[in-house]
């Protein structure tokens, strides 16, 4: 068994390309069936099942060695095409460019200068010194700040100079970055200053509290915190005499807004030592980490994702190749850093640029490509017409947004087109410059994509709205790296797809729901019309696109860690140089998640995979996602299902004895059928050797308001939040006034899901609105499903109403045909009593007494209603008597006796 290995994203990660022979029904890419693996790097030896999505037919100019990275292969292919096919370059240009590419390939990796700093940034500062690099807008779309390439570089050098000369931090040291979401220029300068100083940055974003910042500082042993003047003022407000902020004693805090730019002497000193720093970096054996991004696990725990400079560079190359392949895009995205080029693109982003895809595309890709980033807060999408006005005014080429914002502006335009078209009297709405609309998403809403394309982008002037929309599948829990999106790179025949001109279009399939419940993907129809009724028996699933050019995809059974058979659903596992090497400081967890092993019919594959936690399949080379693994609901097939299917005249296929449902589909049904629900989450719990589904719904809870004397003061018609006896506020009754309404909501949830999905809920828990915990995912805040499950099992959820459906959900409870006259009937009970007549009668040893008299006072203790009343009686009658006293082994008193009065206090 032979294998060829390529270096991973961080040290100690080795990526292997297995050449084992796969089972005929495993790992094969078919043009008609859902695939088990779609690999852009071969995992099957013969025949070739999948190859790089970017690898088209070999070019004629000299051949390509097999050990060249995929991104360099594309450069060589494009160069050969320009010389032999398009004839746009001469022979000498072709030879010189090819020699440059081959030299960069043959360089020792230890001698390569770190990507993004200081070479690219410093050259852009020289070439495009006066051009704006970052522009920030406020909630009204007005410019509040901007920074040029030269100013950005000088501020970054100043930060790096201060770190190197005043603190002398080592290569492995970490620096925490505390900035607001709108402080793009200051954040970018601090981030690249850390890059230049060879320290690891730790960006802090909105999903991390101040208490968690201290935990991160202690975990990473950070010695320095960089923050802005705005953050300093907010911290001063929190630092009150009653609650002072306890910073670690050896932690140093710098406000970078006071640094300014590097002086000529500092810049000269910095440049003079550049070669020395490169030599030290080349001889260093420590991990070349760029930054550590902290994101939340499904149960809400913060975990650091370590990202190296090499990982970032691979991602930048792949994004540039993929996005630049768009037809009629007006040239590539990347501008030359050597000579001035006017092909500047404008990127308009509304995502948080401090983490995940916002940091990758907003900050890093802006510096890599040399374009200008205009950042606007998410609130600009809430004002009708403002977002379109900003696009037209800044002539945006690339839009970076999420579903929430795009849906708001699209549907606002449908309701009131004139509010968008005539938002400004001086600025005409014009989307003719828009070439890319990048949508950060976990699953795709194909119907909305059609509305966005045909009823928003096209009427407002976008020239190619169908090609412009590019959904991105990102790993928000693992650094936000992109793993799949649309491309026009060619090579579709390697996936078994004919290049009929539709291979790069937005694709969708209709799959059979009944087969899906058995974990089988049965494609009923390809590319259905968005206006067609999908019916009750089919489900529409939309594709993201092909995997990244240098990625290897596998669809794996998550319970068994085996490649699934043809036509089955499974968890997406991926291997790519664009991925992180693991969690920061968590070796065991990193091995399980980032270095997972899967097996096929011939044994364990040599490759290491990242377990994405995404459930999906591949079809005709494209990636389809149904949701997260944690969102899949399992339930055993029982005798109750047999009755239902018999009534419907349908055959019940037992399969593996388990039916699968997806919470996104269940929640969509509840949202349309049960109007009283504000929000909802569904998960399963393992009880009695089977999985039982639990639904937690948010609904309005109405309570009584109680005064200080606990007297009823009338009903409260507000939001019904229980203050629980808060100071200087109303006290609410623990019992809801609308309990019958909550009961009907729970019953309707059970009936609706059973009617539409044949799923039998075990329990419905009703909580007040905005009560369930949420986490950041795919650009927005979503209910943390696994955190809700954890709190449910711990009993820490603030529930207002609970309804169980034990008899209808647990399949192991015995039932007869006649429930009333069955095993619980009086007749059967009488037979049991007759059978037990010869057995001796049971006698209880408990001394039951109607009255109990106190020995000292003679008071009847059974007349008291609660134990608290007895305690008050003890205090009143004999308050100075000893209530409790500790005795040691020698029989002596080990502590001061506790009287009834002191015990009450």
- For 813-875, give the DSSP string: S---SSSTTSTTSHHHHHHHHHHTTTSPPP---S---S--B-TTT--BGGG-SSHHHHHHHHH
Is residue 526 a part of any domain in this protein? yes
Domain identity same for 543 and 655: no
Q: How far apart are CA 71 and CA 551, in angstroms?
A: 11
Listed residues 768, 788, 809: the one ending a domain? 809
Mean pLDDT (whole number) for 721-733: 54
Q: How far apart are CA 715 and CA 717, in angstroms?
A: 6
pLDDT computed for residue 713 by the predictor: 44
pLDDT computed for residue 114 by the predictor: 47
Q: What is the pLDDT of residues 791-844, one digit of tens each?
A: 999 988 888 899 999 877 876 666 566 656 666 678 888 888 888 888 887 777
Name, in order, each residue with C-beta under 8 angstroms of 842's C-beta and a sequence gap of 6 or more.
Answer: none
pLDDT computed for residue 200 by the predictor: 92
pLDDT computed for residue 887 by the predictor: 85
Straight-line distance from the first to the last Cα atom of the chain, in angstroms, rounded to the nearest whole number: 77
pLDDT computed for residue 818 by the predictor: 62
Please list the residues that pair with 16 across neighbouring strands: 5
Mean pLDDT (whole number) for 538-562: 89
State percent of the chain over pLDDT 90. 33
pLDDT computed for residue 721 by the predictor: 44
Is residue 418 a part of any domain in this protein? no
Tokens of 508: 């969708």
- Structurally, how many domains does the chain consist of? 3
Domain identity same for 506 and 541: yes
Q: How far apart are CA 685 and CA 694, in angstroms?
A: 7
Nearest to 546 by CA among 508, 468, 478, 489: 489
Mean pLDDT (whole number) for 379-390: 94
In Å, how far from its chain's centre is CA 803? 31
Could you give the angle at which helices 149-162 and 264-272 cross, rounded to 10 degrees? 70
Q: How far apart are CA 558 and CA 555, in angstroms?
A: 9
Mean pLDDT (whole number) for 658-684: 90
Q: Domain range for residue 894?
A: 861-904
Domain identity same for 558 and 625: yes
Q: How far apart are CA 141 and CA 388, in angstroms?
A: 11
Res. 188: pLDDT tops 70: yes
Domain identity same for 646 and 742: yes
Answer for the pair 398, 346: CB distance below 8 angstroms, yes or no.
Answer: yes
pLDDT computed for residue 717 by the predictor: 44
Domain identity same for 645 and 786: yes
Is residue 538 a part of any domain in this protein? yes
Name, in order, each residue with C-beta under 8 angstroms of 709's C-beta and a sequence gap of 6 or more.
Answer: none
CATH code, domain with 668: 3.30.300.30
Name, in order, each residue with C-beta under 8 angstroms of 698's C-beta and a sequence gap of 6 or more.
Answer: 677, 678, 679, 680, 766, 767, 768, 769, 770, 771, 772
Helix (H, G, I), strand (E, B) or coil at 642: helix
Res. 199: pLDDT tops 70: yes
Q: What is the pLDDT of residues 551-581, one digit of tens each?
A: 888 999 998 999 998 889 999 999 988 888 8
Q: What is the pLDDT of residues 265-308, one digit of tens each?
A: 777 777 776 666 665 655 554 557 899 999 988 888 899 999 98
> CB-based burial of residue 176 (10 Å sphere; 0-12 exposed, 13-18 middle, 19+ buried)?
buried
Q: What is the pLDDT of residues 845-904, one digit of tens each?
A: 777 778 888 888 888 888 888 888 888 888 888 888 888 888 887 777 777 888 988 888
pLDDT computed for residue 537 by the predictor: 84
Is residue 447 a part of any domain in this protein? no
> How many residues can be counted in the chain?
905
**Rounded-to-10 torsion of CA 790, 796, 798, 801:** 80
Mean pLDDT (whole number) for 315-330: 86
Q: How far apart are CA 698 and CA 700, in angstroms?
A: 7
Q: What is the pLDDT of residues 13-60, one digit of tens each?
A: 332 333 222 333 333 222 233 333 344 433 333 332 333 333 333 333
- 663-to-248, 632, 795, 895 alpha-carbon distances in Å: 43, 6, 22, 57
State percent of the chain over pLDDT 70. 81
pTM of the model: 0.76
pLDDT computed for residue 6 by the predictor: 29
Res. 660: pLDDT tops 70: yes
pLDDT band at 651 (very low <50, low <70, confident <90, very high): low
Residue 629 DSSP code:
G
In Å, how far from its chain's centre is CA 826? 56
Res. 389: pLDDT tops 90: yes
Q: What is the pLDDT of residues 124-164, one digit of tens each?
A: 888 888 899 999 999 999 999 999 999 999 999 999 988 98
CATH code, domain with 534: 2.30.38.10
Res. 484: pLDDT tops 70: yes
> CB-based burial of residue 355 (10 Å sphere; 0-12 exposed, 13-18 middle, 19+ buried)?
buried
pLDDT computed for residue 706 by the predictor: 67
pLDDT computed for residue 52 by the predictor: 38
Q: What are phi and psi of 296, to 5 degrees?
A: -95, 140
Phi-psi region of 710 (alpha: psi -120 to 50; beta: other; left: phi over 0): left
Domain identity same for 590 and 694: no
Is residue 757 a part of any domain in this protein? yes
Mean pLDDT (whole number) for 498-516: 82
Q: How far apart are CA 81 and CA 498, in angstroms?
A: 21
pLDDT band at 259 (very low <50, low <70, confident <90, very high): confident
Domain identity same for 651 and 693: yes
Domain identity same for 513 and 605: yes
Answer for the pair 562, 604: CB distance below 8 angstroms, yes or no.
Answer: no
Tokens of 664: 């996104």
Domain identity same for 598 and 680: no
Residue 59 DSSP code:
P
Q: How far apart are CA 788 and CA 88, in angstroms?
A: 60
Phi-psi region of 396 (alpha: psi -120 to 50; beta: other; left: phi over 0): beta
Could you give the angle at which helices 149-162 and 119-127 cross, rounded to 10 degrees? 140
What is the overall mean pLDDT for the chain?
80
Listed residues 584, 618, 633: the one ending a domain? 633
Is residue 380 a part of any domain in this protein? no
Strands 346-349 and 398-402: parallel
pLDDT computed for residue 44 by the predictor: 33
Domain identity same for 569 and 647: no
Is residue 626 a part of any domain in this protein? yes
Domain identity same for 586 and 678: no
Tokens of 264: 């000529």
pLDDT band at 723 (very low <50, low <70, confident <90, very high): very low
Listed residues 748, 778, 809: the one ending a domain? 809
Domain identity same for 620 and 664: no
Is residue 139 a part of any domain in this protein? no
Name, in order, each residue with C-beta under 8 angstroms of 570's C-beta and a sequence gap of 6 or more.
Answer: 36, 555, 556, 557, 558, 564, 615, 616, 617
Q: How far apart are CA 445 and CA 432, in angstroms?
A: 25
Res. 202: pLDDT tops 90: yes
Mean pLDDT (whole number) for 576-605: 88
- 73-to-101, 102, 257, 440 alpha-carbon distances in Å: 10, 10, 44, 28
Mean pLDDT (whole number) for 351-370: 92
Which of 130-144, 555-569, 592-606, 650-664 is least confident? 650-664
Ordered DSSP codes for 97-156: HHHHHHHHHHS-GGGSPPTTTTHHHHHHHHHTTTSEEEEEE-TTS-EEEEEEHHHHHHHH
Q: What is the pLDDT of residues 260-270, one digit of tens each?
A: 888 877 777 77
pLDDT computed for residue 41 by the predictor: 39
Mean pLDDT (whole number) for 495-518: 82
């Amino acid at each position: 068994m032979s294998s060829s290995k390529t270096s991973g994203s961080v040290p100690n990660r080795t990526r292997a390309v297995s050449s084992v022979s796969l089972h005929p029904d495993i790992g094969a890419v078919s043009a008609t069936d859902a695939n088990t693996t779609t690999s852009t790097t071969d995992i099957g030896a013969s025949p070739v099942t999948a190859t790089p999505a970017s690898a088209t037919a070999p070019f004629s100019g000299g051949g390509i060695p097999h050990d060249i990275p995929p991104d360099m292969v594309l450069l060589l292919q494009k160069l050969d095409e320009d010389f032999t096919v398009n004839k746009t370059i001469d022979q000498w240009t072709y030879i010189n460019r090819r020699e440059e590419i081959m030299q960069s390939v043959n360089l020792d990796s230890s001698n390569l200068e770190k990507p993004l700093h200081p070479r690219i940034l410093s050259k852009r500062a020289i070439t495009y010194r006066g051009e704006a690099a970052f522009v920030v807008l406020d909630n009204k779309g007005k410019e509040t700040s901007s920074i040029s390439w030269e100013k950005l570089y000088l501020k970054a050098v100043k930060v790096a100079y201060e770190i190197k000369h005043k603190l002398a931090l080592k290569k492995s040291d970490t620096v925490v970055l505390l900035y607001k979401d709108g402080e793009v220029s200051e954040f970018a300068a601090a981030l690249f200053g850390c890059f230049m100083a060879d320290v690891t940055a730790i960006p802090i974003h909105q999903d991390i509290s101040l208490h968690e910042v201290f935990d991160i500082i202690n975990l990473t042993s950070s010695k320095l915190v960089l923050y802005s003047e705005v953050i300093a003022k907010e911290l001063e407000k929190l630092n009150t005499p009653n609650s002072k902020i306890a910073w670690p004693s050896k932690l140093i805090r710098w406000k970078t807004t006071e640094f300014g730019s590097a002086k000529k002497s500092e810049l000269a000193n910095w440049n003079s030592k550049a070669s020395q720093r490169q030599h030290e970096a080349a001889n260093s054996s420590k991990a070349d980490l760029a930054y550590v991004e902290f994101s939340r696990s499904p149960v809400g725990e913060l975990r650091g994702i370590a990202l190296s400079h090499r990982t970032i560079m691979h991602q930048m190359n792949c994004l540039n190749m993929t996005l630049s392949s768009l037809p009629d895009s007006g040239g590539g995205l990347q501008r030359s850093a050597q000579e001035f080029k006017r092909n500047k693109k404008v990127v308009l982003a509304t995502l948080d640029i401090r983490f995940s895809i916002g940091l990758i595309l907003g900050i890093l890709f802006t510096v890599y490509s040399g374009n200008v980033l205009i950042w606007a807060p998410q609130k600009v999408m809430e004002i009708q017409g403002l977002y379109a006005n900003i696009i037209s005014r800044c002539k945006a080429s690339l839009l970076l947004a999420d579903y929430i914002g795009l849906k708001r502006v699209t549907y606002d335009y449908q309701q009131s087109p004139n509010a968008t078209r005539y938002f400004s009297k001086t600025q005409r709405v014009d989307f003719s410059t828009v070439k890319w609309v990048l949508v950060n998403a976990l699953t795709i809403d194909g119907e909305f994509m059609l509305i966005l394309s045909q009823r928003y982008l096209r009427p407002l002037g976008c020239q190619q709205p169908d090609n412009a929309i590019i959904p991105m599948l990102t790993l928000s829990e693992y650094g936000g790296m992109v793993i799949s999106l649309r491309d026009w790179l060619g090579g579709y025949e390697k996936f078994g797809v004919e290049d009929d001109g539709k291979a790069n279009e937005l694709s969708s399939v209709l799959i059979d729901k009944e087969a899906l419940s058995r974990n089988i993907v049965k494609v009923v129809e390809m590319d259905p019309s968005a206006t067609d009724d999908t019916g009750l028996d089919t489900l529409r699933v939309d594709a993201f696109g092909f995997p990244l050019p240098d990625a290897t995809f596998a669809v794996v059974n998550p319970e068994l860690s085996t490649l699934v058979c043809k036509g089955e659903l499974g968890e997406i596992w991926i291997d790519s140089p664009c991925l992180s090497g693991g969690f920061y400081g968590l070796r065991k967890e990193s091995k399980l998640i980032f270095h997972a092993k899967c097996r096929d019919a011939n044994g364990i594959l040599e490759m290491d995979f990242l377990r994405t936690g995404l459930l999906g399949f591949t079809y005709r080379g494209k990636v389809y996602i149904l949701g997260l693994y944690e969102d899949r609901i399992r339930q055993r097939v029982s005798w109750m299902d047999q009755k239902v299917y018999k009534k419907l005249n349908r055959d019940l296929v037992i399969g593996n004895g388990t039916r699968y449902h997806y919470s996104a589909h269940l929640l969509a049904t509840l949202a349309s059928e049960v109007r009283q629900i504000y929000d909802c989450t569904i998960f399963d719990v393992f009880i009695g050797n089977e999985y039982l589904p639990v639904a937690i719904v948010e609904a309005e809870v109405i309570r009584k308001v109680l005064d200080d004397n606990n007297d009823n003061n009338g009903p409260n018609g507000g939001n019904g939040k229980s203050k629980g006896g808060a100071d200087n506020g109303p006290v609410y009754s623990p019992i809801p006034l609308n309990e019958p309404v909550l009961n009907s909501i729970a019953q309707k949830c059970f009936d609706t899901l059973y009617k539409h999905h044949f799923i039998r809920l075990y329990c419905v828990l009703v909580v007040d609105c905005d009560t369930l915990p949420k986490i950041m995912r795919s650009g927005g805040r979503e209910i943390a499903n696994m955190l809700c499950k954890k709190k449910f099992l711990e009993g820490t959820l603030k529930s207002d109403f609970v309804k169980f459906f034990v008899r209808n959900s647990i399949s192991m409870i015995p039932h007869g045909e006649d429930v009333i006259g069955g095993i619980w009937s009086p007749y059967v009970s009488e037979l049991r009593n007759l059978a037990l007549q010869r057995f001796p009668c049971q006698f209880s040893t408990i001394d039951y007494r109607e009255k109990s008299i106190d020995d000292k006072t003679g008071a009847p203790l059974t007349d008291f209603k609660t134990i608290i009343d007895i305690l008050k009686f003890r205090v009143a009658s004999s308050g100075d008597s000893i209530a409790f006293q500790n005795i040691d082994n020698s029989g002596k008193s080990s502590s001061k006796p506790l009287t009834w009065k002191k015990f009450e206090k």
